[in-house]
């Protein structure tokens, strides 16, 4: 969907992004992670041309993003940022309607879309549509910010540290919501964060950046088992890499055939959670069941531990 080809950004003598090339497939959730000053936000902002590249190009569905005026390009791409950037003088409904209005949708379609999005983000339209941003809590403001970014049904959603301003509990909820939204709308998402836990939790592809260069780009497990650079293993954390690896697979994926005596665990639980549960109960095996109650197989402590090795 997005091809980034040898993209660089220089300000005078400083190179902020240095020859980055990557391909982001449709329907993926790609997380760009790096320390502050690594160029990750600049890379993201070159995709919707809030920052114009010094050299290289970005192809969106095969066509160069410079083929149309920047503001028209941006209307097709959702954009959500840290601190949400909601318009303080407009109501929640008006905020969400921003891009559809720019695109000239008729009023009935806009109203229907606003209601649909408010409901998707668990915000009662009757209560929230007419409120102003300052009347909402931080978590609600953040949800409205994402709803606004999704309003014109973009194929692609760019998010720059969208959960940076939230406290840990609301943050975990917002991350779950994002995964739900992605399933529901099928949007391709590129998210920038400095938080490696967030990257592993959300991303099915993770790109690690440092000093403007792309160090490694691949599935999260690959970053742990085959780090391309010592800095990548430093950033992903050497001490708990086995545990991190376990948190990347679900019980359903690792289940062994056959049934055993033992507690029931859902197929969607991560191996890390299953291991924790088995340790807590002091048993060796668990039965894995689907959400609808059908048996999926079983898991043993030994089988889980084997999954924590490269």
Partner 1 sequence: MRAPGVAGILRAVALGLLVAFLIWPQRFAPLFAPLTQYGAPPIYDQGNLLALALAQLGTVCCAAVASTVVAVSLGILVTRPSGAEFLPLSRTLVNVGQTFPPVAVLAVAVPLVGFGLKPTLIALFAYGLLPIFENTLVGLKTCPPAVLEAASGMGMSARQRLMAVELPLAMPLILEGIRVSLVISVGTATIGSTVAAKGLGEVIIAGLLSNNNAFILQGALVTGLMAVLLYEALGGLERRFCGTVRIE
Interacting residues with partner 1 (CB under 8 A): 48, 50, 71-76, 79, 81-89, 98-99, 102, 132-134, 145, 148-149, 158
Show the tokens assigned to 62: 């095969």
* Cα–Cα distance, 65 to 59 (Å, whole number): 6
Q: Which is nearer to partner 1, 84 or 244 (CB)?
A: 84
Q: How far is the CB of 113 from partner 1 (least distance, A)?
A: 15
Q: How far is the CB of 206 from partner 1 (least distance, A)?
A: 23
Q: Which is nearer to partner 1, 30 or 48 (CB)?
A: 48
Q: Which is nearer to partner 1, 50 or 111 (CB)?
A: 50
Beta bridge partners of 264: 287
Q: How far is the CB of 266 from partner 1 (least distance, A)?
A: 38
- The DSSP output letter for 255 is P
Q: Which is nearer to partner 1, 79 or 121 (CB)?
A: 79
Burial of 297 (0-12, 13-18, 19+ CB in 10 A): middle
Q: How far is the CB of 96 from partner 1 (least distance, A)?
A: 11
Among 212, 238, 211, 213, residue whose Cα is nearest residue 224 = 238
Q: Which is nearer to partner 1, 72 or 238 (CB)?
A: 72
CA angle 19, 52, 63 (to 5 degrees): 80
* Cα–Cα distance, 269 to 249 (Å, whole number): 8
Q: How far is the CB of 158 from partner 1 (least distance, A)?
A: 8
């Amino acid at each position: 969907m997005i091809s980034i080809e040898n993209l660089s950004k220089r300000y005078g003598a400083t190179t902020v992004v240095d020859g980055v090339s990557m391909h982001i497939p449709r329907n993926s959730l790609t997380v760009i992670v790096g320390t502050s000053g690594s160029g990750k936000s600049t890379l993201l902002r070159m995709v919707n041309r809030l920052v114009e590249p010094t050299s290289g190009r970005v192809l969106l569905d095969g066509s160069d993003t410079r083929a149309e005026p920047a503001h028209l390009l941006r209307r097709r791409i959702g954009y959500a940022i840290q601190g949400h950037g909601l318009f303080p003088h407009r109501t929640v409904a008006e905020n969400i309607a921003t891009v559809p209005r720019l695109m000239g949708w008729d009023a009935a379609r806009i109203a229907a879309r606003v209601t649909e999005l408010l409901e998707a983000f668990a915000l009662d339209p009757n209560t929230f549509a007419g409120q102003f941003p300052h009347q909402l809590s931080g978590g609600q403001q953040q949800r409205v910010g994402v709803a606004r970014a999704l309003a014109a049904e973009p194929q692609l959603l760019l998010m720059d540290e969208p959960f940076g301003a939230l406290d840990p509990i609301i943050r975990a909820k917002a991350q779950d919501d994002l995964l739900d939204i992605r399933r529901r709308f099928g949007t391709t998402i590129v998210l920038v964060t400095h938080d490696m836990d967030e990257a592993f939790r959300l991303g099915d592809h993770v790109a690690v950046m440092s000093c403007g260069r792309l160090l490694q780009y691949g599935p999260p497990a690959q970053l742990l088992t085959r780090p391309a650079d010592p800095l990548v293993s430093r950033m992903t954390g050497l001490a708990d890499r086995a545990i991190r690896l376990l948190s990347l697979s679900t019980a359903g994926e690792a289940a062994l055939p056959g049934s055993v005596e033992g507690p029931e665990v859902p197929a969607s639980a991560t191996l890390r959670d299953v291991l924790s549960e088995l340790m807590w109960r002091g048993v060796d095996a668990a039965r894995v069941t689907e959400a609808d109650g059908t048996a999926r197989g079983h898991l043993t402590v030994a089988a889980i531990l084997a999954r924590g090795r490269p």
